[in-house]
Amino acid sequence: MRQLLPFLLFLFYFSVISGQKLPLISGKPESSIIPSRSWQNIKHFSTFEMPFEQYRKYLIGVVPTENNQGNVAPITLPMPDGSTRTFEIMSSTVMESEIQSRYPEIKTFKGTDGTHYMRMICTDHWLKAYVLDEAGDIIIEPYSTDSKDWYGVYYSNDINIEEAALSRICGESGHNILRQELNKSDRDNQLISRTVLGSNPVSLITYRIAVSCTGEFGQAPALGGGSVATIIAKIADALTYANAVYEKDFAIHFNMANNNDRIVFTDPDTDPFENNGSGGFLLGQNTTIVNARVGTFLYDIGHVFTNSCTDVGGIANLGVVCSKESKANGVTCWYTSDVAYVAQRIFCHEMGHQFSASHTFSNCNGNESGTMYEPGGGTTIMSYQGLCGALNLESTNPPHPNFFHSCSLEQVIGFTRVGVTCGTKSDPSNTYPVSTVLTKPNLTIPVSTPFELKGLGSDMEDTTLTYNWEQYDNGPYGSALGDVSSTGPLFRVFFPSKTPNRTFPQWSSIFNSPPTNPNYDVREVLPAESRNLNFRFVVRDNHPGAGGSSYSSLSMKVTDQAGPFKITFPNTTADKLYKNACNRISWDVANTFNLPVNCKKVDIFLIRNREVDKPIILKSNTDNDGNELVDIPDLGTNVRVRVCVRAADHIFFDISDRDITIIDAATSGVNMGLTPNVVNVCLPQVVEVKIRSCSFGSYSGQLKLFVESGIPQGSTYQFAKEQLSSSDETTLSINANNLTQKSSFLVTVGAVTEQGDTLRDQLTVNAIKNDFSDQKLLYPQNGNKDVLETPLFKWNKSINASQYTIEIATNPSFGTSVVYTQSNISADSFLLPLVLKENTIYYWRLIPLNDCGAGNSTSTFAFQTIRKVCLNQSYTGNPVNLSRSKTHAIKIPLNFNGTVSDINFNNVEVEADAVKDVVLSLISPTGTKVRLFNQNCGVTLDFLCSFDDDAPIALTCPPTMGLRMQPFEPLRAFNGQSLSGDWTFEVITNSSFSSGTIRNFTLQYCAELKPNNPFNVNGGPLRLNVGETKLINSSSLLSQDNDNTPSQLVYTLVSATQKGDLLLNSVKLSIGSTFTQKDIDDGKLSYHHTGSISEIDEFNYTVQDGTGGWYGVSSFDIFIGAVATNDRELDKKWQVFPNPGSGLFQINFTEPMEKNTYLRVINTSGQLVLKLDVSGSNDSVLDLNSLSDGVYMLALNNQNGASVRKLIIAR
């Protein structure tokens, strides 16, 4: 036995309200006092003497009863390190009134020291206290049966448990997954979120708990103690600890049910349980026994205690609280008599399952596909900490978790506040804390680079808030720590702390990691590939008796196009910094300056003695260019520091790999540097950079500047001054406006000292143009019909674009009609993550972006989704109960003549004890069977989902939250079959299934539409004089349809005129405006030219008939002024192709052109850009490669007349 802190005897006193003093004496008991338990299994502990009777009298006679008025009494308790803490306490029962009256000697209390929550139990013979601490639970309990007055205090992680016991995992059973009347719709999820919204009132829910025990447990001296009274006290002891945890995180309180003494047993031969050494066998027996002896409606949750089991450490059904058939299906196996260990590691864990909380770890026997949020074995209550061998996150003596993961918070709070209705609610005069994420959302960080997340919490009642940052990415984990996946967890969860900010990895890992380890810590692996990261910021108010827990979410991305962001100097122990002098700090920018990270500025500071909260600022908001001259202060002799370069407008950073020494400069010298070292210039801007000189030691003298290399041919440069003193500044200007395309060049600037030494620094100039004319939309093409409802959009990227924003809308005006938009797309394609509506016209465009800003949007393309008519047949019958090992079938009669073009099975709502025990199928009238779900998921939630071949995601676990997913087998197997007849929804359950209910589903069936499309008869051009207003009648613009009238043919304006106004009834039309063919026929559509020169105008439009027929974007040309008069005979004599073209055009003439025939090219401003004599020509090649993309007029004229064509250059 080793005692912690063998210090001299100290005597502590504190005064109480009545004036009496309670002594607290720390020291060693006499050798005659024999320990009451195997204290040698506690690695570190302290002992102290406390007069038990004085304390008991104080607790019973002075401490006030539970109240909301703040009436408390103080009590001072020792801590394992020899310090003390004073708690303000009040009594708080863990028993219903009748059973409490039968065992009046059992008294329980709750309290807080302002930061830590404490619960205490006192009987006629002993008292115990549990303090929830961020370093682990602190336990105070009797030391000896020989003396009531001696107690030990220790951390729960100092308990040594046999390795064999540690290997017993949870035998969680999926037989009752979320069996509440909760349909997890969007509305219900909103209710859950609204429940924990900051400042909303917290409701305390008290559950009547019936805890039975086997005879083996009851008779064991160190467990049940051999009598009903001692068993009840042991159960009350376990509930004392459980209440501390559940009250803090969930505002859930447990009171022992009134008839609980009827279900505890002291004789294994006469107890009603069979096979008491098997948790699995006990699980199915307990509810029947408790219902019979306590009363089915006289308790809300039940559990059974037994001694060590041969199969599991504990086992429970999921989500069974309040369910009369299985609400007592929970087992805790006691491998040790230590209440703190068992109640924490097993009892609280198994009850978590009963409240619907699933496992949260990612790789250890028992992980669940839908909630794998913690690396390896995890570190929270619903994890398997310490049970996972090489995947344990703590190798030795980890603090036992006394808090739940935010996933568990969501599950249990949702289950108890929105799902089940049993339990008694009361007002504890508390509100949920407010959690605010201060870090900007949707940032992109570089790979393999530390980062920091920041939050803020507030609360109306409590000031001692604690915080957690938890990664919230469900996904797989490898067979060893650090073997992470591209979707799953990377970072472990730590105990809640008083600090709302968190670095990833923790500072201790960053400081202590060897330079050769780029991941710092295998338990906290920085992402090394592009992926998404999601986090939750959890705030707890630690309100005594009814804590409020709330959380906020944050999403970001990681890109492998940037990083690792690393300091390069000073970075090793050999690197030195000169104090009271100018020093160069350098780092690898690693493309973080550019999109998608886009960090332009950094802060540079020193961290002294690892005091991260007291940074010494060297330079703020300086350019992220990899190089900076800074002045190092005098911090004393041989001071060791770390240099930190942190993104000023972002969240990532790096520090020197090793401590750096600051020394006096041994020599004299001078530095010269450019600021910034990387410049993005948006042509035709001029580049301007600062040049700074600074010295160390006693150096003085002049520097002569020059440009050594790198200025592009034709570009010029100039220094504001060419001579610098030893501490001086100037600027360098570079004019690169002669550059015609995107390019980068490296400029080397030199400085010659008076001693003839040459200093050099370099400047990278990225010349950027906002010319995106080389981009091109590829798919869906303009006018595409029958496009899938989840299309893959494709395009050719512009060389000058770094990212794109895509917009999809139901109207070409976009704006409020946008149905989806996505920014920061660096690829040349995008798969739409939602399902578009069938038989609908959509418009899409791209907006290019680079470091110079956003360019103009591309032209708008229109497409139409699959043309089909879809109808829904919803289930209207009563719920159908499911049972074990049976096939359940529900007929769906359809009376619709037609063939299947698409089948979807939507709004599937089935309560199932375990989805892994269920097969869902749809059967057509011809007998074709398609399996929708084939026992795919592990222990997850019930079904609330839709199945669709065209869904953007594959079959996903859990099949809840209203997800639309692809089925196990494709529904397209029904395509071409007759719709008419009886369809069947089939549910097959296996032998492991217990019970469930079919509540709802909708069969969506679609038949293909083959409408008659409208067609264009007349499509322009319109010819008019400069400044004229002219009607656009049907001789100029006419669309027809074989089965629709002119009033049913609707034109939608996709692009508007630029040289004048398109008018409907004299009202100007804009993009997205509509008019009908009848409007044209009735003379309501006109064009008014607002210019003063001859030019060409146009507008683009689509036409649809309202019954699924349409044609895509067409152009209507308008010729104005001199270009408007065409000789119709001359019109027939020539052709130009290709049109549109990329620069070379073929001109063909039907006969040789007469003398003085000229071909002119005119731009949209009316300027003549080319004149070509084609007299006598039969054909000609027109080379317009020197012209930019756009619309031009091509005019052929001679003495007999003129003929005009519109010419489009599009590369």
Cα(429)–Cα(688) distance, rounded to whole angstroms?
A: 62
Tell whether 238 is covered by a domain.
no
Cα(838)–Cα(770) distance, rounded to whole angstroms?
A: 37
pLDDT at site 2: 37
Cα(441)–Cα(76) distance, rounded to whole angstroms?
A: 45
Buried b (16+ CB within 10 A) or exposed e, 255-294: bbbbbbbbbbbbebeebebeebebbebbbebbbebbbebb
Which range, 168-177, 768-777, 911-920, is most confident? 768-777
Per-residue pLDDT reduced to its tens digit, 515-547: 666 667 889 999 999 999 999 999 999 998 999
Tell whether 1094 is covered by a domain.
yes
Cα(1211)–Cα(534) distance, rounded to whole angstroms?
A: 41
Q: Which residues contact 247 (CB under 8 A, 6 or more apart)?
A: 110, 117, 204, 253, 544, 545, 546, 547
Structure tokens at 215: 């005879």
pLDDT at site 9: 34
Tell whether 137 is covered by a domain.
yes
Cα(272)–Cα(967) distance, rounded to whole angstroms?
A: 46
Cα(919)–Cα(254) distance, rounded to whole angstroms?
A: 38
Tell whether 984 is covered by a domain.
yes
Q: How many CB atoms lie within 10 A of CB 666?
A: 9
Domain count, the chain: 9
Residues 326 and 437 occupy one common structural domain = no
Per-residue pLDDT reduced to its tens digit, 333-353: 998 888 878 998 899 999 999
pLDDT band at 182 (very low <50, low <70, confident <90, very high): very low
pLDDT at site 87: 94
Look up the CATH number of the domain holding residue 1199: 2.60.40.3080
pLDDT at site 191: 45
Lowest mean pLDDT segment, chosen from 163-172, 394-403, 996-1005: 163-172
Q: Which residues contact 66 (CB under 8 A, 6 or more apart)?
A: 90, 91, 92, 93, 110, 545
Q: Where are any strands of DSSP class E within 82-157?
A: 84-91, 107-112, 117-122, 127-132, 138-142, 150-155
Lowest mean pLDDT segment, chosen from 125-134, 594-603, 649-658, 738-747: 738-747
pLDDT band at 33 (very low <50, low <70, confident <90, very high): confident
Residues 196 and 341 occupy one common structural domain = yes
Residues 187 and 336 occupy one common structural domain = yes
Per-residue pLDDT reduced to its tens digit, 205-228: 999 999 999 999 999 998 999 999
* Domain end (from 666, 697, 716): 666
Tell whether 582 is covered by a domain.
yes
Pick from 221, 264, 256: which is nearest to 238 by CA? Answer: 256
Half-sphere exposure of 523 (CA within 13 A, CB side): 19
Look up the CATH number of the domain holding residue 748: 2.60.40.10
* Domain end (from 395, 419, 443): 419
* Domain end (from 1056, 1088, 1121): 1121
Beta bridge mates, 753: 703
Cα(159)–Cα(152) distance, rounded to whole angstroms?
A: 13
Match 């004393």 to its residue by tokens. Answer: 636
* Distance, CA of 1208 to chain centre: 46
Lowest mean pLDDT segment, chosen from 56-70, 954-968, 974-988: 954-968
Higher pLDDT, 1134 or 92: 92
pLDDT at site 366: 64
Pick from 118, 132, 406, 384: which is nearest to 250 by CA? Answer: 406
Cα(584)–Cα(674) distance, rounded to whole angstroms?
A: 11
Cα(1023)–Cα(1203) distance, rounded to whole angstroms?
A: 12
Question: Can you give the length of the chain in residues?
Answer: 1211
Residues 1026 and 1082 occupy one common structural domain = yes
pLDDT band at 914 (very low <50, low <70, confident <90, very high): confident
Tell whether 855 is covered by a domain.
yes
Average pLDDT over residues 856-873: 90
Cα(414)–Cα(419) distance, rounded to whole angstroms?
A: 6
Q: What pTM does this model have?
A: 0.75
Q: Where are any strands of DSSP class E within 613-677?
A: 616-623, 627-632, 639-647, 653-655, 660-663, 669-675
pLDDT at 1162 exceeding the cut of 90? no
pLDDT at site 1205: 81
Match 């061998």 to its residue by tokens. Answer: 389
Residues 413 and 292 occupy one common structural domain = yes
Q: Which residues contact 690 (CB under 8 A, 6 or more apart)?
A: 674, 675, 729, 730, 731
Average pLDDT over residues 612-625: 95
Cα(108)–Cα(92) distance, rounded to whole angstroms?
A: 6
Buried b (16+ CB within 10 A) or exposed e, 171-198: bbbbbbbbbbebbbeeebbeebeebbeb
Share the mean pLDDT of the chain: 88
Residues 149 and 30 occupy one common structural domain = yes
Which pairing describes strands 639-647 and 601-608: parallel, antiparallel, or unpaired? antiparallel
Burial of residue 616, with CB atoms counted within 10 A of its CB: 0-12 exposed, 13-18 middle, 19 or more buried: middle
Cα(922)–Cα(809) distance, rounded to whole angstroms?
A: 34
Per-residue pLDDT reduced to its tens digit, 371-411: 899 998 899 999 988 888 888 887 666 667 899 999 999 99
Residue 64's region, left for phi above 0, alpha for psi from -120 to 50, else beta, is beta
Residues 478 and 468 occupy one common structural domain = yes
Lowest mean pLDDT segment, chosen from 101-110, 471-480, 1077-1086: 471-480
Q: Are 1057 and 1097 in contact (CB under 8 A)?
A: yes
Lowest mean pLDDT segment, chosen from 618-622, 704-708, 939-943, 1058-1062: 939-943
pLDDT at site 4: 37
Helix, strand and coil in the chain, % to nearest 5: 10, 40, 45
pLDDT at site 1124: 60
Per-residue pLDDT reduced to its tens digit, 569-578: 999 999 999 9
Residues 554 and 566 occupy one common structural domain = no
pLDDT at site 179: 30
Residues 586 and 491 occupy one common structural domain = no
Cα(937)–Cα(951) distance, rounded to whole angstroms?
A: 19
pLDDT at 41 exceeding the cut of 80? no
Look up the CATH number of the domain holding residue 632: 2.60.40
pLDDT at 1211 exceeding the cut of 60? yes
Structure tokens at 714: 């034709």
Cα(1058)–Cα(1117) distance, rounded to whole angstroms?
A: 12
Pick from 464, 467, 483: which is nearest to 475 by CA? Answer: 483
Which range, 24-28, 390-394, 1133-1137, is most confident? 1133-1137
Amino acid letter for position 993: F
pLDDT at site 170: 66
Average pLDDT over residues 939-964: 81
Cα(1047)–Cα(404) distance, rounded to whole angstroms?
A: 65
pLDDT at site 18: 41
Residues 889 and 983 occupy one common structural domain = yes
Residue 500 backbone phi and psi in degrees, to 5: -80, -5
Containing structural domain, residue 522: 429-559
Report DSSP letters for 448-495, one per residue. T--EEE-EEEE-SS-S--EEEEEE-----B-SSTT-B-SSS--BPPPP
Structure tokens at 537: 């910021």
Which range, 167-176, 944-953, 977-986, is most confident? 977-986
Q: Which residues contact 685 (CB under 8 A, 6 or more apart)?
A: none
Tell whether 535 is covered by a domain.
yes
pLDDT band at 769 (very low <50, low <70, confident <90, very high): confident
Residues 193 and 328 occupy one common structural domain = yes
Burial of residue 233, with CB atoms counted within 10 A of its CB: 0-12 exposed, 13-18 middle, 19 or more buried: buried
Q: Are 981 and 959 in contact (CB under 8 A)?
A: no
Average pLDDT over residues 1091-1096: 86
Average pLDDT over residues 41-70: 88
Tell whether 378 is covered by a domain.
no
Residues 517 and 575 occupy one common structural domain = no
Residue 564, classed as helix, strand or coil, is coil
pLDDT at 960 exceeding the cut of 80? no
pLDDT at 476 exceeding the cut of 70? yes
pLDDT at 89 exceeding the cut of 60? yes
Pick from 1080, 1089, 1040, 1081: which is nearest to 1061 by CA? Answer: 1089
pLDDT band at 1113 (very low <50, low <70, confident <90, very high): confident
Report DSSP letters for 66-92, one per residue. S-SS---EEEEEE-TTS-EEEEEEEE-
pLDDT band at 1207 (very low <50, low <70, confident <90, very high): confident
Average pLDDT over residues 169-190: 41
pLDDT at site 187: 38
